[in-house]
């Protein structure tokens, strides 16, 4: 056990990041093992388009919680891979509407059984005494109620 594991809560940001990175890398290995040419970072965009069919760039960015420039760079890759395509919105010429191509939809159906397996596997890993997904949701809710900085200021003035 190293120091970061020992310090506990103060290093929680580092811990979250490390676990995220590990799951992302393992996810990439799983796609590769099942002979699917897909990068984990594409998942949020593709899944969103699978469910919502057609969205603008900013709508996707909001759905996946990324900045719009990050989203644009993902969309560029996916367009190069011919997994998505886009066209101007006739009603609003500023907007670019994104959809899955036939190839993209095919890819989604090929991935669905793998997603099921991943879901089962991730539940095995994270549905422990303290459920990781619930824990994230609860922490995010607390942060929404009152931010980290404001809480720290309050504790200082009280303590």
Phi/psi for 101 (5° steps) reads -80, 175
CA nearest to 122, candidates 60, 40, 35 = 40
- Residue 50 is a binding residue for DNA (CB under 7 A): no
- Does residue 15 contact residue 4 with C-beta atoms inside 8 Å? yes
Nearer to its own copies, 88 or 120 (CB): 120
**8 φψ region: left (φ > 0), alpha (ψ -120 to 50), beta (else):** left
Q: Nearest approach, Cβ of 68 to its own copies (angstroms)? A: 14
The region of 87-95, 113-121, 123-131, 145-153 touching DNA under the rule CB under 7 A is: 87-95
- Residue 105 is a binding residue for DNA (CB under 7 A): no
- Residue 110 is a binding residue for DNA (CB under 7 A): no
- Residue 148 is a binding residue for DNA (CB under 7 A): no
Q: At which residue do the structure tokens 């990175």 appear?
A: 21
CB-neighbour burial class of residue 38 (10 A; exposed 0-12, middle 13-18, buried 19+): buried
Nearer to its own copies, 52 or 87 (CB): 52
- 111: its two tokens: 């991935």
Nearer to DNA, 109 or 144 (CB): 144
The region of 62-70, 123-131, 135-143, 151-159 touching DNA under the rule CB under 7 A is: 62-70
Nearer to its own copies, 91 or 129 (CB): 129
- Residue 113 is a binding residue for DNA (CB under 7 A): no
The dihedral of CA 124, 125, 127, 129: what is its sign?
positive
- Residue 15 is a binding residue for DNA (CB under 7 A): no
């Amino acid at each position: 056990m190293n120091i970061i594991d020992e310090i506990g809560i103060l290093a929680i940001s580092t811990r979250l990041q490390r676990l995220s990175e590990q799951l992302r890398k393992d996810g990439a290995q799983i796609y590769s093992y099942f002979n699917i040419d897909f990068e984990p970072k594409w998942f949020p965009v593709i899944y969103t388009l699978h469910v919502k069919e057609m969205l603008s760039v900013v709508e996707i960015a909001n759905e996946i919680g990324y900045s719009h420039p990050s989203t644009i760079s993902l969309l560029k890759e996916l367009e190069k891979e011919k997994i998505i395509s886009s066209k101007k919105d006739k009603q609003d010429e500023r907007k670019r509407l994104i959809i899955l191509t036939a190839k993209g939809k095919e890819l989604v159906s090929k991935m669905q059984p793998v997603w099921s397996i991943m879901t089962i596997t991730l539940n095995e890993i994270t549905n422990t005494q303290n459920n990781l997904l619930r824990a994230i949701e609860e922490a995010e809710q607390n942060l929404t109620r009152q931010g980290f900085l404001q809480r720290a200021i309050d504790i200082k003035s009280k303590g």
